[in-house]
Structure 1
Amino acid sequence: MDVVRLLVPIAVVLVVMLLIWAGRAMLEGAREGIAEAKEEEAAAKAVQAAEQQAKTEARLERFEAASAALSPADRFALNLRAPFTEIWLEIFPHEDDARELEYFYRLTPPAGQEHELRKALEDGWDITDHGSALHTLAWLIDSGHRLPYLQVRQALAEGEDLKGRAREAGVVSKWEAQAGEAGGAAFDLARAVDVAAMAHALGYLSEAECWRILRQCRIISQDLFGSWEVYGQSFLAGAEFWKSGGLMDGTRNKRYAGSIRWLMEDAQSPWRRDPWPVSVERQERLKGMN
């Protein structure tokens, strides 16, 4: 009996010691498991970061290659539609919220977007073939909405009664300091380049016809503007003159403003990468006016 009484405390102590050892072993194992999990998570994040960096570098390489494939004059012509391209890039498929910036320097959008383009041309412009594409482009290049814009501007300068066109008069007055004589011409020219490129993508225009229209727009733009900043302000003036007021149009105008802001400020913007080219002819003409 005495032996039993002696062994019971010893057994209890041994059991307690065993439990403590087991607990420590389990705790140490848990710590090692957590450390291994953290290491695996860190390794996975490193692999993911490396893959993301590789994708980013590949996108940049495609961007640079697309830019290098064009002459400065042709890059400038495509850059005239950049406000619309920046918006289109939100619609085009892209990975990891990263847009394919190379399409600023591509004449046509990614394959598979034909339905969107066809819908945009038909619903917005009644363009369904070669003839309707040329008709619309001729209107945009020759007059567009900049003609009524300038008519309202002239009427304001002459003090005419514009009660029937109060909205248009308000827009013209609002943008006078920024757009001046050019008015909303940039909006027409950007649309002309965008429409021509979409029409070419759908086969309504040949590549030669498309570039001919883009070069017309380039010449007109160089004659009217001297910087991307003024061009951007003219774009916004023309967009607001075209349609303002109402929830949908107000939202659209805000989207245009966001696009111009990105083009003016972001380091990857084609407007930052390709400064506005100097027009010798325009400079000489301006000298003669002074």
Structure 2
Amino acid sequence: MDYYDPEVRAQLALYGHAMSSLCMKGQMAFSLAKNMQTVFENKRRLQSALELWDVEDSAALKTELQWLFETGVRKEFEDCRMLLAGLADTEQSGYLKSLPSGEAHTGKLHVAAYYLTRLPAKGIAAFDYSWCVYLCCAGHRRGYLSEEDQWRIVAMCVRHARIAYASWKDYIIGFAAGADFHQASSSLDHVKRYKDFFVKLLSAPESPLSQVNLR
């Protein structure tokens, strides 16, 4: 792929905006999501996103991007899901009740249990891919990553996302589950808080997801 081709970059930018938009938070999440170019011009917001993942320099960014792309939060999620899948329903319920409350691992196991049969085959990989794209673009604008590396990483994430998910709806389900798992939110706080946001991403004509097809 020729990352210097303006048409290639324009298409990748649309996917970059779409995938990064899911990472927006707060009451203004959709307002931010439909103006991702403005988000990428806000140095303070980009710096906050990088700090959220403990990225302070180029080396840390490259390490984080590699981890998100190759392993990510999805590895721990799949480990939890495999553990629970090996238990009968009654055993699973008893096991979850026996876990110490208030611990992150307990919360993650509860999230994994809820989504045990509710996710596409690739699970929460969407969470890793979206954050990889967002941090990649943020890192480039903060001077941590070259422009060519930015487009290369975005292209890899887009390719894997398009293989993994049949639709943006499936992608959002995977992302939302990943967000709650990452936050160890056994009460599924992220899904509950951002349900309307996700609906707008799927249905609003000004949504960045409406600009490109996943398949």
Q: Shorter-chain TM-score category?
A: 0.7 to 0.9
1:187–1:239 Cα contact (<8 Å) kept: yes
Whether 1:186 and 2:126 are equivalent positions in the alignment is yes
Q: Render the CA deviation track for 1:59-115: whole Å, top value 9, x for unaligned.
A: xxxxxxxx99712x5523432222125x48938xxxxxx7693x44x49723xx213
1:200 deviation in Å?
A: 0.9
1:274 deviation in Å?
A: 2.2
Distance 1:178 1:191, change over 3 A: same
Whether 1:150 and 2:78 are equivalent positions in the alignment is yes
- What amino acid is the match of 1:265? S
Which residue of the other structure, out of 48, 51, 65, is the alignment partner of 1:137? 65
Distance 1:225 1:245, change over 3 A: closer
Q: Render the CA deviation track for 1:21-57: whole Å, top value 9, x for unaligned.
A: xxxxxxxxxxxxxxxxxxxxxxxxxxxxxxxxxxxxx
Match of 2:210 in 1: 272
1:275 deviation in Å?
A: 2.6
Match of 2:150 in 1: 210
Unaligned segments of structure 2, at least 5 residues? 1-6, 100-104
Which residue of the other structure, out of 104, 109, 113, is the alignment partner of 2:40? 109
3-state SS, counterpart of residue 10 of structure 2: coil
Q: Render the CA deviation track for 1:135-167: whole Å, top value 9, x for unaligned.
A: 111111111110010011111122285654543
**Whole-angstrom distance in 2 between the partners of 1:121 and 1:88:** 17
**Whole-angstrom distance in 1 between the partners of 2:172 and 2:23:** 12
Distance 1:68 1:132, change over 3 A: closer
2:177–2:191 Cα contact (<8 Å) kept: no
1:244–1:253 Cα contact (<8 Å) kept: no
Q: Aligned residues: percent identity?
A: 24
Which residue of the other structure, out of 240, 244, 247, is the alignment partner of 2:180? 240
- What amino acid is the match of 1:127? V
3-state SS, counterpart of residue 176 of structure 1: coil
1:193 deviation in Å?
A: 0.7
Higher relative contact order (CA closer than 8 Å, sequence separation 6+): 2
1:207 deviation in Å?
A: 1.1
* 147-156 or 164-173: bigger deviation: 164-173
Match of 2:4 in 1: none
3-state SS, counterpart of residue 179 of structure 1: coil
- What amino acid is the match of 2:207? S
Give the root-mean-square deviation of aligned CA atoms: 3.1
Distance 1:119 1:167, change over 3 A: closer
Match of 2:23 in 1: 84
2:108–2:186 Cα contact (<8 Å) kept: no
**Whole-angstrom distance in 2 between the partners of 1:89 and 1:193:** 22
**Whole-angstrom distance in 2 between the partners of 1:107 and 1:182:** 31
Match of 2:49 in 1: 120
Number of aligned residue pairs: give it. 196
1:168 deviation in Å?
A: 2.3
